[in-house]
Amino acid sequence: MEHIFDDAYFMRKALQEAEIAFDKGEIPVGAVIVIDDKIIARGHNLTETLNDVTAHAEMQSITAAANFLGGKYLQQCTLYVTLEPCQMCAGALYWSQISKIVFGARDMERGCINLKTKLHPKTKIEGGVLAKEASELLKRFFIMKRNLN
């Protein structure tokens, strides 16, 4: 029997969150946090809606997951996020001691890899899961924005 709860499965859920952001006029980035194949938090970028630069998909999800777990550390959890985390989000993930970060598209300019944000020694990070879908959604958003202005 095929194991349906693979990285692509959860990244599709994160992409659904990114699409919700898209529909709200937000830069379309979405995230879910998973523990034992169960989604315990969902989030999408809300920086425009909330007028708040800290309202990235990952930040919403970290807060929601900690709320669900009743504790602030996410040591058994995996974050799926459609775009490579920025310094702020990677910095928050450092504090959370999260077990694993799986991202979709790379962010060469503002992502945590090229900017060398320090992650917790216990945190693994990998990327490229449904990267094409994630970056196409972002491209579609910026083309639409350009045409509106």
89 contributes a contact to its own copies by CB under 8 A: yes
State the catalytic residue, choosing from 58, 84, 126, 133: 58
To the question of whether residue 120 is assigned a binding role by annotation, the answer is no
DSSP for 81-107? EEE--BHHHHHHHHHHT-SEEEEEE--
Question: Whole-angstrom distance between the N-terminal and C-terminal Cα of the chain?
Answer: 50
Answer yes or no whether residue 129 interacts with its own copies by CB under 8 A: no
Residues 61-74: b if buried by 16+ CB within 10 A, e if exposed: bbebbbeebeeeeb
Task: Select the residue interacting with its own copies from 16, 47, 75, 135 (CB under 8 A).
Answer: 47
Q: CA 98, CA 122: separation in Å to the nearest integer?
A: 8
Binding residue for its own copies, selected from 33, 34, 66, 138, defined by CB under 8 A: 66
CA atoms of 10 and 32, how far apart (whole Å): 7
**Residue 86 among known ligand-binding residues:** yes
Compare residues 38 and 70 and give the one whose CB is closer to its own copies: 70
56 marked among binding-site residues: yes
Q: Kindly tell me which residue out of 6, 52, 126, 136 binds its own copies, with binding defined by CB under 8 A.
A: 52
**Known catalytic residue: 48?**
no
Q: Which residues are annotated as a binding site?
A: 56, 86, 89
Residues annotated as part of the active site: 58
